[in-house]
Amino acid sequence: MSKDIFVFIEQRDGNIQNVSYELIGEASSLAEDLNQKVIGVLLGSGIEDKAEALIEYGADEVIVVDNKILKEYMTEPYAKALTDIVLDRDPEILLIGATTIGRDLGPRISARLRTGLTADCTSLFIDPETKDLHMTRPAFGGNLMAVIQCRNHRPQMATIRPGVMQPIERDEKRQGIINVVEIDFSAISDSVEILEVIKKEKKSSDITKAKYVVSGGRGVGSKENFDKLKELSDVIGGEVAGSRAAVEAGWLETEKQVGQTGKTVRPDLYIACGISGAIQHVAGMENSGMIIGINKNDTAPIFDVADLGIVGDVNAILPPLITAIKKAKEEGMDYVAPSSNKYMGMENILYNVNNGIAYLTINRPKSLNALNRKTLLEIGAVVDLLEKDETVQVLIVRGAGGRAFVAGADISLMLDMDEAAGEEISTLAQSVFSRLKNLPQVVIGAINGYALGGGNELAMACDIRVASSRAKFGQPEVKLGLIPGFGGTQRLQRLVGQGYSKELIFTGDMISAEEAYRIGLVSKVVAPEALNRVVNDLAMKIMSNGIQAVKMAKKAINEGGCVDLENGMAVENREWTSCFTNDESKEGMSAFVEKRKPRFRDF
């Protein structure tokens, strides 16, 4: 029987590549769903001492083949070693980084084993029923996403795009097996021979091939200021480019010009610094993945194509930005930008407000954002603020770190609790969550990962839940001899009905985002990388409507959910009537009659 998740560990010159740590992180989460192990396969020469680190990053076992023939990557020796190991161990899943090595090795092996291979995946998850792997990948130049399965062949193989998955925290105490094996390479022919290895210099390369582009225009002001753009592009590993104005000013070589008369680029990230965004320039960069525009002039057309526009002085913003990125790179994945607001005193959450949208981020990624007393109190403090804050219309609740929304209550802190302490924490959590639910603002939960126990209960206290495809939901309390205590036995049945609610709570099972969507626990499931954007867009869409009306509708729905139909109707009647006491409804209806867009913001 096939079992375990194998990860091909890519090394170059003996250095393990980041993508391998990312894949071990992803494999750990898949392994949890399958109740199987994560096995790294490390091939190279003089690399035996590198296996330890892989265990610290989450591998249960590392199979090492250390042989001179594996020093530089060559298809046949690598394919032979990996195939022999796969035939010996019969993995359930084999993951390979979608690099120029992985995308050479993967197809060769899949054809040798006659199994399926899905190229360049951006997300993976285990079907909760069939336990098959779902692999999502972009096609048609990224215009289409396809979900692919390989049901009848093992291993299920996928190459995964670097930079998409997240490594888990390194734990130096983690234990695992290092298994050094010998492979017989004697049958490999001499038909392929490496004559020379030429390392690429970091040449001033082609901007059309850059993953990230930092581009400058007239607003940068001088050649000296352009050095800052270069520094920014260096820290993110991109290239510097510019508008025609920058080239004509002599700040940049001609081959770095973007636009109709220059080059067309479509990097994953395009940062336009002091570029106004004339149509000729936009034509050369509008298909970039993410566009960030920084310009002093708030009417600059660059803001029409930017995903994020910052009205401000680029020369003042770049130096602290460069410092922040350097710091983030040093600190690794858990970094959350320091909040510049005055609620910095909070330890476990981050709170900030932007254009009427408030963000409450549970920020204990090392503990998968588990809720403890202090975190609950801090959420309560934010609720206090929001009850009085009329400038905020939507609150977005989310978890830091990418693996969990909130993985539950902090069990280690509950171990020593007696009856009174147990009652106290439940009362506290129930009251904080109820007040969150009854805030005048719309509360949206952006569920990026585990929402278990108290996490699912927090999610259910939100008005709307949007999940990333990697989110997982459950009320596992009975497994610990407890029951849900932060509202789970009550809110879940009101959302999904008693039958399903009982099954979930009695079994303690974890369900996928898709299943949560099917039963109506969440209203949308989106790709992990799209979650923040979709939630933001949803907030903006709600805010573009009559916000007083939205608030009254929320009130009517909330109150009506607690009473019988007749009394619910009375609540609706009351709120409907009060619509006519504000100017918003007059503006909305007049605009409709006059066939124009309403201007709700003025009220």
Partner 1 sequence: MKILVCMKQVPDTSEVTLDPITNTLIRKGVRSIINPDDKAGIEAALSLRDEIQNSEVIVVSMGPPQAEIALMETLAMGCDEAYLISDRKFGGSDTLATSTILAAALKKIGFDLIITGRQAIDGDTAQVGPQIAEHLGIPHVSYVEEFFYSDGGDEGKAMIVMRQFEDRYHKIRVKFPCLLTAISGYKEPRYLTVSGVFDADNKEIKHFGYEELKEHLDESCIGLKGSPTKVVKSYTKEQKSQGTVLKGLTNNEAVEAIMARLKEGHII
Active site residues: 409, 454, 457, 477
Nearer to partner 1, 96 or 504 (CB): 96
Q: Least Å distance between CB 51 and partner 1?
A: 23
CA distances from 230 to 181, 226, 306, 325 (A): 46, 7, 21, 14
On the 0-12 / 13-18 / 19+ scale of CB atoms within 10 A, 77 is: buried
Residue 347, classed as helix, strand or coil, is coil
Dihedral sign computed on CA atoms, order 40, 41, 42, 48: positive
The label of the residue with tokens 């970094």 reads 335
Amino acid at 497: G
Of 5, 2, 176, 189, nearest to 79 by C-alpha is: 189
Of 437, 451, 440, 429, nearest to 394 by C-alpha is: 440
Nearer to partner 1, 134 or 491 (CB): 134
Q: Is 221 left (phi over 0), alpha (psi -120 to 50) or beta?
A: left
Q: Least Å distance between CB 10 and partner 1?
A: 11
Using CA atoms, how far apart are residues 483 and 404, in angstroms rounded to an integer?
A: 21
Using CA atoms, how far apart are residues 153 and 155, in angstroms rounded to an integer?
A: 6
Q: Is 487 left (phi over 0), alpha (psi -120 to 50) or beta?
A: left
Tokens for 182, please give them: 């010998």
Characterize 47-76 residue by residue with b for buried, 16 or more Cβ atoms within 10 angstroms of its Cβ, and e for exposed: beebbebbbbbbbbbbbbbbbebbbebeee
Nearer to partner 1, 98 or 550 (CB): 98
Q: Least Å distance between CB 543 and partner 1?
A: 12
Q: Least Å distance between CB 137 and partner 1?
A: 8
Q: Least Å distance between CB 450 and partner 1?
A: 19
The label of the residue with tokens 């769903």 reads 33
Nearer to partner 1, 425 or 526 (CB): 526
Contacts of 67 (CB under 8 A, 6+ apart): 45, 77, 81, 183, 185
CA distances from 123 to 92, 137, 343, 530 (A): 17, 7, 35, 12
Residue 43, classed as helix, strand or coil, is strand
Nearer to partner 1, 85 or 117 (CB): 117
Q: Least Å distance between CB 109 and partner 1?
A: 8
Q: Least Å distance between CB 201 and partner 1?
A: 10
Nearer to partner 1, 144 or 593 (CB): 144
Nearer to partner 1, 15 or 261 (CB): 15
Q: Least Å distance between CB 190 and partner 1?
A: 8
Nearer to partner 1, 354 or 573 (CB): 354
Q: What is the CA radius of gyration of the chain?
A: 27
